[in-house]
Structure 1
Amino acid sequence: MSQKLKNKIEASDTTINSLLKDQKFTIDYFQREYRWQSKHIKLLIEDLTSTFLKSYSTEDKRKDVVNYQSYYLGPVVFSISPDSGKKSIVDGQQRITSITLLLIYLNHLQKNSDHKVSISELIFSEKFGEKSFNMTDEMREPCLKSLFETGEYTLSENDDETVQNMLYRYEDIVQTFPDELTREILPFFIDWLIENVVIVEIIAYSNENAYTIFETMNDRGLNLTATEMLKGYVLSNIENKEQRTEINDLWKREIQKLHQYNDNADQSFFQAWFRGKYAVSIRPGKVGSIDQDFELIGSRFHNWFKDNHRTLLDLNTSDEFYTYFKNEFPFMVKWYLKIWDAQTEYTPAIPHATYINNWGIAESLQDPLLLASINIGDTDATIMKKIDFVSRYIETFTVRRAINYRKFSQTSIKYTMFNIIKLIRSNNLDLLGQNLTNEVNKIQEDWQGVLEFGLHGQNRKFVKHLLSRISSYIDNIVGKDTTYVSYHHPTGKQFEIEHIWANKFQEHSDEFDQENDFQRWRNLLGALILLPSGTNQSFSSDKYDDKVKHYIKENTYAQTLNSAYYAKNPNFLKSEIIKDLNFKAHNDFKSNDIEDRQQLVQRICEKLWSVEYFEN
C-alpha cells in the first residue's frame, strides 16, 4: 500500500442499507464487549419510532417514505488493514450491534407479511449454504444465529457479557417496539429505517489514523452542552455579583455530583426535572404536529427554559432566579440521585424503585413521574413514600400489561403517563395515594391474564422478575427476611427458572396427544418456580415424585408444593394472608394441578399488588 493511500481518510454520509448490505467487518480487541443497557436500547427505539411517526400518514404510499424526516444515528469509524484488506470497526459497534438486533426482530415480524422488505442480507451474508454475520466474532455467532432463526436463545455458562447483553437487549426490543408499527405500517418503517437513518462512515487506511479519529471523537472538546448554555442564561439573569458567584459555585458542585453517576446524567436530570414539574403540553400523534413542552425539553431544554421560565416557572426577577436555583436546584439533584441509588441498590424505604429498575417503562417517562409529586417542603420520609408510591404504580401497570401480553412502549403509553405526571404534580401524600389508586383501577388489563400466562423465548426477563416478587413476598409472610434481590440478582449463586415438569413429552402422553400442547402447559407460570442454579441443573430432568422431595429445602413458594411443609410450619399455617390465598400441597402434578397453581398465582398477584398499599 502506498504512503499516500495509507494516510488517506474518507468520510461520507450513508444509509444502514449501504453500510451493512453484504458487508463483513471484525471488531477491534479493545471494544469487543457489547455493553448497552436496557435504557440505551429503549431510547434508541423511542427515538427511531417517534421520528418515523412524525412523518407517516395512513394516506401515504411506500414510495413517499423517501421524503420522510431523516434520523442521524452518528458516525462509525472503520480501519482497512494495509495487509489483508479486512475492514475492522474502530468506533460504533455498540450502535451497529443494536441495529443488527433490531433488524433481526423486524425480520421476524414480517415473516408472514405479503409485503416483505429484503433485510436479511443486512444481517448476514451466505456462501455455500453457510451464514456469517456482518460483525465477525465467534462468541456472538451462536446467539445471532439462534435469534435470527428462532427469535430465541438459551444462555449457557460459557456465554460472556456480550452474548448475555445481546439476548437481554433483544428481549427489550421485543417488549419496547410499538404495537402500532407491527401491522400494515411495518414495511414503511423498515424502508425508512434502512434508507432514511443516516450514518457518517469514516474510513482510515491505517490503524494509527483510525485510533486518532476514535480518540478525537470521544474527547468532549470545547462545544457547550445544553447544561452549560442553561447555566450561562441563568447566571446572566442574576444581577448581584455575589449571588451570581454563589450560584455558579453551587452549579459546579451539583453538576459534579451528577457526573459521578454518568457523563450525561446532568442532561437526563434537567429533562426529568422540567418535564416532571413544569411541562403542560405534549405533541399530538398526528403527522405534521409541532413539538410541545415534552419534546422540546427532551431536545433543547435550555431553549425551552429560556422561552417558558416566566409563564411556567414564574421566574422574572434577579432575586427570583437566585432563590429558585439556590433552593430548588440542589433539592431536585439530591432526590434525583437518591432515586438512582434506590433503583440500583435495594432500599427498604423505597423498594419499588428497585423493581422498576428491572421492570419499568422508558426513562423519558419514568424519571419525570418519580419527580413530579415531590415538594421542597416535604419531609424525607414523605418524599421516600411518594417515590415508592409512584414506583408502585409503574410496576403495577407494567406487570398487568405484561401478563396480558401487552407491550408498554413509549409511543403507546406516553399520553397516559404524561397525563398522570400532570395529575400527581406536587400532590400531598394523601392525594397522591388517592390519584394512584384511581389510576390503577383504570388499567384495562386485569389479573385474570395470569390464567393463560406462561414462559416463552422472549419474556424470560419478566418471568424472572415476577417469580422473584412472588417468592420474596411469600417468604416475608412467614417471617423470612429475604428480599426481591435475594432471588432476582443475589451476590453469589444465582437463581434460575425451574420447570416443575421435566422436558419429557413421553411421560405425559396420558394427558397430551400433541407435544406443543404439553410444552404450553409445561411453560405456564403455575408450573414454574425459582431454584439456585446448581440445584436447578442437578434434578431438572427428574420426575416430579423425586423433585418435590428436594423442594422442601428451597424457598417457601417451592416448599408449598410438598405436603410435609404443611405439618411443621406454624407461621405459615396461622397466617391470615396464607389462609386467604388458599395454598395446598400437590402430591402429584398433572395439568389440573398446574391449573390450581395458576389460580393461586392470580390470587397472590391480586394481594401483592393491591391498591391498599396506597392508603397512607
Structure 2
Amino acid sequence: MARINLLDTRTTSFGDLISNGKIYRVPPFQRDYSWSEENWEDLWQDILALHTNPDSSHYMGALVLQSSSTSDKEFTIIDGQQRLATLSIIAIAVIQKIQNLVDREEEAEANKDRQEILRRTYLSDRDPRSLRYSSKLLLNENNNDFYQSNLINLRTPRNIRSLSKSNQLLWRAFQYFFNCLEKLQEVIQSGEKLATFLTDTVAQRLLFIQINVEDELNAYTVFETLNARGIELSATDLLKNYLFSLFRGPDDLQEAQRQWRRIVNTVQMENFPDFLRYYLSLKETRVRRERLFKVIRESVKNAQQAFDLLDQLENYSSLFIALGNSNDEFWRDTPDNRAYIRELELFKVRQAYPTLFAAHDKFTRENFTRLLKLVCVLSFRYTIVSSLNPNELETLYNKVAIAITNGEVTSPRQVFDNLRSIYVSDEKFSQDFSLLSISTKGQKKKLVRYILCKLEADASHIDVNEDSFSIEHILPESPTDDWRQYFNDAQIEELAYRIGNLTPLEPYLNRQVGNEVYPIKQATYQKSVYVLTQNIVAEEWTPDTLVRRQGDLAKRAVHIWSSDFSA
C-alpha cells in the first residue's frame, strides 16, 4: 500500500489542476519565486510552438503534491511552485488583455462575461464582502500578499523598486507575458481568441506528471527517485518545512527562521545535504543521502528537539566551511592547522569530516592538529598515491566519529588504531609512489607542486614556497628528435608526467633550458638552489635513469608521509 501511495501518479494539465474548486498552497517557508526572463522565454517559446501546431502538446515535468488530511480539494505544492505560479501569471495577463478590450468597449458585455468565467476557472471566485478576487494558488509568506493584492486584483504597485526581489520578479513576469501577448496580433484583437488561447493552448496542452504523496517522508523519497536537477535544494526545503512545522508560537518560529538563515548562509544551500549527513554521522551509522529526512523525522518530533538540532547545526556550520578553506578566520588562533587544511583541500578529502567534527569538540587543540596531520597522511597514501577504494574510508571514519562522540576514542593514537587498515604499508606506498604519474596540466598541477615542495623541503631542510618554482620536465613534454634516441613514443607518453621526471626549477632557468637536450639541461640544473635539482647528475637521461630517480624519491616519500603512530 505504501508504494501505491508514493507513486500515485497521473498525467494532467494546468486546466485540470486548477479547476473544480481545488486550492494549492506553497508551504509558508518554501523558497520565494525565482524564475527570471530566461525561464519565461523558454516557456513562452514552448507555448508558441503549441499555438502554431494545434495537435501538439508539451511536457512540463513532474509536479509533486501533498494531499490534505482534511480536504480532497486542498494540496500542498512540494515541487512545482515556480511553474504553477508562472502559468497563473499568464492567465492573469490574458485576462488583463480582455479587460483592455472592455475598456475600449469592444464587445464589452461578452468580454466581461469571458473575463468573469476565466477568473473563476483559473484564479478564483470573487469575495462577496470585499468584492476582491483571491487565488486558487496561495504562494509563500513572502510572495502571497503581493500576488493576491496586486496580480490577482490587477493593481499596479506604487513603487516597484521598493518591492522585494522575488515580488519584483512576479511583477516582471506579468509584464513579460503581457508584452508577449501584444505580439500575437491575430489573438489580442478578439476576446474569443484570447479565451481560446488560454483555455485550449495554455491550460490543456501543457502537461504534467502529477505525483500525489500523503506525507513529507514520501515526498522526500520522490525527490530522491526523480533524481531531478536541483534535488538538493528541494530536499533541503522539505527538511526546513518539517522543522518549522514543529514550532507553534510566532516567537519560536521567528527565532527558528533566523537561526536557519544563519546556518544556510554559512554552509550554502547546495552544500546543506552533505553538511547534514556529516553531522548525523556523529551518532548514526551509514547515513545515506536518501535517508536524511527519515532520520530527522525519527529523531526530531517536537519544538525543543528542533531547536536542539538547529543549535548543533549552527555550532558545526563554521567548522564545516573552515575545513574546506585554509584561509578561513576560523583558524586564526590555530595557524598550524592551515597547512593541513590546504592539504585536505588539495586531496579533495571529505570522508573524514564526521571524525573531524567529533574531534574538534572532544580533543584538545594540540590533539586536533595531530589528527589533521594523520588524516592528511592517510589520505595521501590511500587516495592520492595508491588510488584505493574510497568507500571503505567513509565507513571507517563514520565509526570513529561515533566512538569519539561516545567517549570511546579520546586521542589521535586511538584514532590511528581504529584506522590502521587504511594506512597503506610502507612497502606498498613505496612501490606505488615509484610508479606515480600526475599530469601537470589543470588542477592536477597544484598537486604536483605540493609533492615536489615536500620532497625538496625534506632534501634541503628548508621550507619551500610552492609558488616559487616552475615544474621542470626533464624529458620535455614535447621532446625534439634528439630525445628519441633514448625514448620511443610509448615511453614519452608514459614517462613525461612521472614524478621521477619532474623537478623544481627557477622560472628563468626553466625558460632557458626549454626543450634542450639533456647535457645542456643537466649543466643548468647545477645552477639551481633546489637540492632535488642539483642532485640530478646522471650522465644520460634514459627510462632506466628516470625510474631509478623515482625509486629514490619514493624512499624519501615513505618517511615524509608517515604517521606519528605507526611505529
- Tell me the TM-score normalized by structure 1: 0.46
Quick check: which has more Rg, 1 or 2? 2
- Tell me the TM-score normalized by structure 2: 0.49
